A and B are shown apart, each in its own frame.
Chain A
Amino acid sequence: MATTFAHRVCPDTGLKVCRNAEALIKANAVVAIVFLAIGGLFGLLVALTRWPAVHILPADLFYLALTAHGADILIFWIIFFEIAILYFASAVLLNCRLATPRFAWLAFALMLVGALMGNVAVLQGESSVMFTSYVPMQAAPHFYLGLILFAVGALIAVFVFFGTLVVAHQEKTYEGSIPLVTFGAVAAAIIAVYTIASGAIILIPTFLWSVGLIGEIDTLTYRVVWWGLGHSSQQINVAAHVAVWYAIAALTVGSKPLSEKVSRMAFLLYIAFLPIASAHHLLTDPGLSSEFKIFNTSYAIYLAVLASMIHGMSVPGAIEAAQRRNGFTQGVFGWLRNAPWGNPAFSGMFLSVVMFGFVGGISGVVLGTEQLNLLMHNTLYVTGHFHGTVAAGTTLAFMAITYLVIPLIFRRELILKRWCKWQPYLFGIGTFGISMLMMGAGTLGVSRRHWDMTFSDATLSFDYPPAAFLMMGLNGIFAVLATIGGIMFVVIVVGSVLAGKSRDAEAAKTSPIIFQGGGATIAGHGGEATLKLPGTVTLVTVFFISFVLYYFVNWKFLSEVWPLS
């Protein structure tokens, strides 16, 4: 039997919620959203500066804002939130106590100090080196130190997660295997360990170099190892937000994985193959062989892409199966039309699935193809791609689950219900727009991380095509839209947490958060006979055709470029 620990019993789920885990989930999620707000506003300033007609910031502040945007969003927002997800997926879902809460608080403190230190360094203006901080450009020592402290904290938190799994196993708080969502979180956590190790290997010497203890750091070595951090940290996001997709689908429409085996195999492929692929960023670098590039950039024969394509089928498939069980059986897409589109958790999740696949996923594979990369390396195409994955994919998925976390963990009712309904669409359309438009501008050659696309004070003049200017203007408009969505999100979260009606046992009965289809819905799934999912088949077919066409169109573009060898 489970040992006793300080907990409350959740009136919505009946789960025992460990008080320590609850407090830590709240703390990490709140801080995450603070960094989302700060980083998001820097992102707006960046987009407005790149809008040629607005061009709001001077060059030095633009590069400062861009550095802050990258660090706050790509590192601090996402990883704080992921730590909250890890605690949720372990202590809460496994019905057990959080291991070593003191270490979890230490981790939180280190991460917070590190993140603040990094922000202070950037705002002081001496560390506008971009999120990538490529040597030999040098930032202030406390910029690197902040990142290192943050990474150490995150590593401790990951081990608290692993420890909690051990506790749950030893105290037998669950039966059989861990839930799929927890399994996905394990994948994210294992990738995180690899990622943070890479970060330590490169950032510690870089810090020592910045204080003068090391003479020189090789630029190629830096890029190879740094991208072990930079790329893999985005892979933590992939594993984490796929786990979040499954969680939201389960909680909002009562879906069950089509096949535990297939989904878990796909997560195992992530663990094995996602952490390589730092070569995505090195395809046009000198001194690396094509053999290495091809093997690394394709995650060994695209096995991690295979995994994502599996999730791309099994997440909508699970939703379709559940919806058909729920009685929405008419036609090919009746289940989708009748999905709970007014529930922001569901709509945010589904938009995230679609945009991550179609926008972020396809463009990522094209960008990561050895030869095709030279068409787009360091152009805004890259930025467009990762806004498709990180903004439209991960961030939207995390926003979506926040709509469940507030009532379930914070025990507060959401305020501004109408805003909640619209927020995922606004943010989704905004981030979809910026992703597509930056990819478009990048295809026309527009450089990323660049203050002035008119080159007005350059000695030699150059003009990008007029279409590129149009796209950057539209990009600004969509960025404003995404920002409005982001501000609404922050207002909803802060307002609900501070002023939302307290959610009691009565509310759990009268306005349930969790899908109330009952056991029959769940028990019927699985097995060949029940799996007639024409909607999902149609979706993945459309996806596959888009993927193949877009892939070969880019080879056509490449074949028109100057011959190179």
Chain B
Amino acid sequence: MAVTPPQDRLWWKEPLARMEITWISIAFVWGLVMFFTMVYWHIDGKQNLSNEAYRISPDAFAEKVEVFADEYTVREEGETGIPVVRPPAGGDAYMLGRLWDWWPILELKKGESYRLHLSSLDWMHGFSLQPANINIQVHPNYEMVLTITPDKAGVYSVVCNEFCGIGHHQMVGRIYVTE
């Protein structure tokens, strides 16, 4: 029994049954398939997270985002007048997370690529783009740069999905994708 010492003292010499060998082989090959699927997707898949990131202080990042917003704001929205910023197609877009909002609102054009810079000014936040369902961890002191290509027009929301304190559930941002 499994609760007593092995009956056959030379248990490591027992031959394997065919069923065991077959199953172990299948499981091992399946592991290889899953491993190389990840590698393959880097070569031929269209959804990969960038490895590009920089160390940056929250102040420096906030300043970059302000400069970006000053330059490309097209209108303001909501009671608090959040700027809606339309970056040039193919250019850089910035969004910061802080307690408790995502700032600013972005307006992107469908089919164009943007270099999206994400960072936090305080605690960790979770960039959860809905309903596209793209979820990215956002750290303070790290600026992550990823290239995104929105392929469907619509109104997208950015929910915070990393717990960031009592106002966590109010933290919603927005991205518009226009035709």
Binding site for B on A (CB under 8 A): 59-60, 63, 93, 130, 134, 136-137, 174-181, 218-220, 223, 246-247, 249-251, 254-264, 282-290, 294, 298, 301-303, 305-306, 309-310, 313-314, 317-318, 365, 369-371, 374-379, 443-445, 447-452, 455, 457-462, 464-465, 522-523, 526-528, 531, 533, 536-537, 540, 544, 547-548, 551, 555, 558-559, 561-565
User: Who on chain A is nearest to B6 by CB?
Assistant: A260
Q: How far is the CA of A522 from the CA of B82 in the complex (A)?
A: 73
Q: Do B169 and A59 have beta carbons less than 8 Å apart?
A: yes
Question: Within the complex, what minimum Cβ distance (angstroms) separates B108 from chain A?
Answer: 10
Q: Do B137 and A378 have beta carbons less than 8 Å apart?
A: yes
Question: Within the complex, what minimum Cβ distance (angstroms) separates B107 from chain A?
Answer: 14
Question: Within the complex, what minimum Cβ distance (angstroms) separates A555 from chain B?
Answer: 7
Binding site for A on B (CB under 8 A): 1-9, 11-12, 14-20, 23-24, 26-28, 30-32, 34-35, 37-39, 41-42, 45-51, 53, 78-80, 82, 101, 105, 113, 118, 122-124, 126, 128, 130-144, 146-152, 157, 159-166, 168-174
Instruction: Select one of A63, A286, A365, A371 contacting B143, CB under 8 A.
Output: A286
Most chain A CB inside 10 Å of its own CB: which residue of B132, B135, B149: B135
Residues of A within 8 A of B144 (CB): 286-287
Q: Do B150 and A533 have beta carbons less than 8 Å apart?
A: no
Q: Do A563 and B159 have beta carbons less than 8 Å apart?
A: no
Q: Do A371 and B130 have beta carbons less than 8 Å apart?
A: no
Q: Do A177 and B53 have beta carbons less than 8 Å apart?
A: no
Residues of A within 8 A of B42 (CB): 290
Q: Do A306 and B24 have beta carbons less than 8 Å apart?
A: yes
Q: Do B23 and A286 have beta carbons less than 8 Å apart?
A: no
User: Who on chain A is nearest to B34 by CB?
Assistant: A302
Q: How far is the CA of A219 from the CA of B125 in the complex (A)?
A: 11
Given contacts A63-B166, A565-B146, 8 further A-B contacts (CB under 8 A): A137-B124, A371-B47, A379-B128, A445-B131, A450-B168, A460-B78, A544-B26, A564-B146
User: Who on chain A is nearest to B55 by CB?
Assistant: A287
Question: Within the complex, what minimum Cβ distance (angstroms) separates B70 from chain A?
Answer: 21
Q: How far is the CA of A257 from the CA of B118 in the complex (A)?
A: 52
Q: Do B78 and A562 have beta carbons less than 8 Å apart?
A: no
Q: Do A313 and B23 have beta carbons less than 8 Å apart?
A: yes
Question: Within the complex, what minimum Cβ distance (angstroms) separates B92 from chain A?
Answer: 15
Instruction: Select one of B7, B9, B26, B47 contacting A561, CB under 8 A.
Output: B47
Residues of B within 8 A of A445 (CB): 128, 130-131, 133, 159
Question: Within the complex, what minimum Cβ distance (angstroms) separates B93 from chain A?
Answer: 13
Q: Do A455 and B172 have beta carbons less than 8 Å apart?
A: yes
Residues of A within 8 A of B138 (CB): 286
Q: Do A136 and B45 have beta carbons less than 8 Å apart?
A: no
Residues of B within 8 A of A257 (CB): 2, 6
User: Who on chain B is nearest to A285 by CB?
Assistant: B137
Instruction: Select one of B131, B136, B169 contacting A451, CB under 8 A.
Output: B169
A-B interface, 9 closest residue pairs, ranked by CB to CB distance from nearest: A302-B31, A286-B144, A286-B53, A447-B161, A462-B157, A260-B11, A246-B2, A250-B1, A377-B135
Residues of A within 8 A of B169 (CB): 59, 450-452, 455, 457-458
Q: Do B14 and A259 have beta carbons less than 8 Å apart?
A: yes
Q: How far is the CA of A254 from the CA of B144 in the complex (A)?
A: 56
Q: Do B164 and A318 have beta carbons less than 8 Å apart?
A: no
Residues of B within 8 A of A314 (CB): 20
Residues of A within 8 A of B150 (CB): 562
Residues of B within 8 A of A310 (CB): 23-24, 27
Given A378-B126, A461-B172, CB of A258 within 8 Å of CB of B48:
no
Instruction: Select one of B8, B35, B113 contacting A298, CB under 8 A.
Output: B35
Q: Do B31 and A377 have beta carbons less than 8 Å apart?
A: no
Residues of B within 8 A of A176 (CB): 5-6, 9
A-B contact pairs, 23 of them (CB 8 A): A137-B123, A219-B142, A255-B2, A259-B20, A261-B11, A264-B11, A282-B137, A284-B49, A302-B34, A371-B38, A375-B133, A378-B135, A445-B133, A445-B159, A450-B159, A452-B169, A460-B174, A528-B17, A547-B30, A558-B47, A563-B113, A563-B149, A564-B134
Q: Do B39 and A294 have beta carbons less than 8 Å apart?
A: yes
Instruction: Select one of A179, A444, A451 contacting B3, CB under 8 A.
Output: A179
Residues of B within 8 A of A290 (CB): 42, 48-49, 51
Residues of B within 8 A of A247 (CB): 2-3
Q: Do A564 and B47 have beta carbons less than 8 Å apart?
A: yes
Question: Within the complex, what minimum Cβ distance (angstroms) separates B61 from chain A?
Answer: 12
Q: Do B45 and A219 have beta carbons less than 8 Å apart?
A: no
Q: Do A177 and B147 have beta carbons less than 8 Å apart?
A: no
Q: Do A303 and B31 have beta carbons less than 8 Å apart?
A: yes
Instruction: Select one of B2, B30, B32 contacting A249, CB under 8 A.
Output: B2
Given A60-B166, A537-B19, A561-B47, CB of A369 within 8 Å of CB of B34:
yes
Q: Do B17 and A258 have beta carbons less than 8 Å apart?
A: yes
Q: Do A260 and B134 have beta carbons less than 8 Å apart?
A: no
Q: How far is the CA of A561 from the CA of B47 in the complex (A)?
A: 7
Question: Within the complex, what minimum Cβ distance (angstroms) separates A552 from chain B?
Answer: 9
Most chain B CB inside 10 Å of its own CB: which residue of A136, A305, A531, A564: A564
Residues of A within 8 A of B159 (CB): 445, 447, 450, 455, 462
Q: How far is the CA of A306 from the CA of B7 in the complex (A)?
A: 26
Residues of A within 8 A of B1 (CB): 179, 250-251, 254-256, 522
Q: How far is the CA of A541 from the CA of B168 in the complex (A)?
A: 44
Residues of A within 8 A of B105 (CB): 460
Q: Do B24 and A262 have beta carbons less than 8 Å apart?
A: yes
Instruction: Select one of B78, B118, B141, B146 contacting A218, CB under 8 A.
Output: B141
Residues of B within 8 A of A465 (CB): 131
User: Who on chain A is nearest to B27 by CB?
Assistant: A309
Q: How far is the CA of A559 from the CA of B48 in the complex (A)?
A: 10
Q: Do B30 and A544 have beta carbons less than 8 Å apart?
A: yes
Q: Do A63 and B172 have beta carbons less than 8 Å apart?
A: no
Q: Do A449 and B168 have beta carbons less than 8 Å apart?
A: yes
Given A60-B166, A259-B14, A365-B34, CB of A179 within 8 Å of CB of B45:
no
Question: Within the complex, what minimum Cβ distance (angstroms) separates A399 from chain B?
Answer: 19
